Amino acid sequence: MKLPSISARLSPLAFGACWIAAVPARAAEPAATPSAYAATIPNQNAAPGPAPDGMVWIPGGEFSMGSEDLTGCACAGGDAMRDARPIHRVYVDGFWMDRTEVTNAQWRQFVDATHYRTIAEIAPTHEQFPTAPLENLVAGSTVFTPTPGPVLLKDVFQWWRYQPGANWQHPEGPETNLTGRDTYPVVQIAYPDAVAYAAWAHKRLPTEAEWEFAARGGRSGQTYAWGDELNPGGKWMANIYQGKFPVQDTGEDGFVGLAPVAQFPANDYGLYDVAGNVWEWCSDWYRPDYFKQLADAGGVARNPQGPATPFDPAEPSEKKRVHKGGSFLCTDQYCTRYMVGTRGKGEVTTAANHLGFRCVQMPAQTNQ
């Protein structure tokens, strides 16, 4: 396959950690101990009023953020995920959060009201990408495609392709549509698209700290949003990937590919799909050393907003923001970022058919 060459959003590494062969050789690093986590101390404030439609109250409070090094665990796929350490102490104010990922039906309401066009629906221009062949300047987006047989997990272009005509209305390409998919999460959403929706809805995207506090549901230091077992009682708790990646998704959790929202149990704060299904945009710029910056500063980081500038040493020229939660493509063979303290990243104009978002809203009295 000829690789697309027109833009950062088409460059292989711009996809982010979970899209690439993220299984580096282990370097010497002392394993974190469970004592790196301290108890979550949720605020004792009641919800400030009736919940906005589709949202739940997240009380905020103080918690331990980040993920242990679980590379010795059969659960973890060998990825050290160093950017999720050190585990550090964070405080966030209370906020409302969407109970589910934003759905196609909700996105359609936004488009009907505003006629908004997503980045994937607009052809790149010669002025933006003067070195790109003109035939590559077509609107589209990135789509996952299973490989015909097992492959070394080194080159994402074995299973990701740039698909002309792929966008939120045609998530896997022009031959696909949203019939019967109103309650599926909207996908093929780049960061500016998600920001535009949030502004229209009088909401905003969560910070990474807000997202992780909410996903942990008041628990502390557990591997998953629901506890320490991936399948408690033999039950799947999230829409992830079973089978041989990226050849065949066997759908043991009930879903091959994307699932409608809220098909698995909610976490302790009433949030659905904080693991798996689709990655979710957060507002923080991505830097692999941001947790270290906060830990080095000492004390408790209050309402951290992310680093001032983005930096990914794997692709220094790309501007990336944080993704959280993992997707239906996450598997212990390759990417286990459905673990609650882990992080993803993505170039801001890059959308895909496993990437969506949800919003938060501050209570009116603290909305300043």
Specify the residue, 239 or 336, whose C-beta has the smaller distance to Ca ion.
239
* 3-state secondary structure (DSSP) of residue 315: coil
How far apart are CB 117 and Ca ion at their closest, in Å? Answer: 31
Site string for Ca ion, 202-241 (x = CB under 5 A): -------------------------------------x--
From residue 299, alpha-carbon distances to 51, 81, 91, 291 in Å are 32, 23, 10, 13
Q: Applying CB under 5 A, which of residues 253, 273, 318, 332 lies at the interface with Ca ion?
A: 253
Specify the residue, 123 or 247, whose C-beta has the smaller distance to Ca ion.
247
* Residue 255 binds Ca ion, judged by CB under 5 A: yes
Cα–Cα dist 264/15, whole Å: 27
245: left (phi over 0), alpha (psi -120 to 50) or beta: beta
How far apart are CB 108 and Ca ion at their closest, in Å? Answer: 25
* Residue 57 binds Ca ion, judged by CB under 5 A: no
* Token representation of residue 84: 């999720």
How far apart are CB 273 and Ca ion at their closest, in Å? Answer: 12
Phi first, then psi: give them for residue 141, nearest 5 degrees: -160, -175
* Residue 168 binds Ca ion, judged by CB under 5 A: no
Side-chain-facing half-sphere of 238: CA atoms under 13 Å: 32
> Using CB under 5 A, which of the segments 61-69, 106-114, 154-162, 251-259 binds Ca ion?
251-259
Residue whose pair of structure tokens reads 């070195």 in the numeric block = 131
How far apart are CB 330 and Ca ion at their closest, in Å? Answer: 9
* Residue 273 binds Ca ion, judged by CB under 5 A: no
How far apart are CB 222 and Ca ion at their closest, in Å? Answer: 21
Rg of the Cα atoms in the chain = 19
* Residue 106 binds Ca ion, judged by CB under 5 A: no
* Token representation of residue 57: 């109250």
> Using CB under 5 A, which of the segments 29-37, 168-176, 246-254, 280-288 binds Ca ion?
246-254
Taking alpha carbons only, the member of 220, 183, 190 closest to residue 205 is 190
How far apart are CB 241 and Ca ion at their closest, in Å? Answer: 6
Size of the site for Ca ion (CB under 5 A): 3
- Strands of the sheet containing 320-324, edge to edge, are 344-347, 320-324, 279-285, 355-356
Q: What is the contact surface with Ca ion in residues (CB under 5 A)?
A: 239, 253, 255
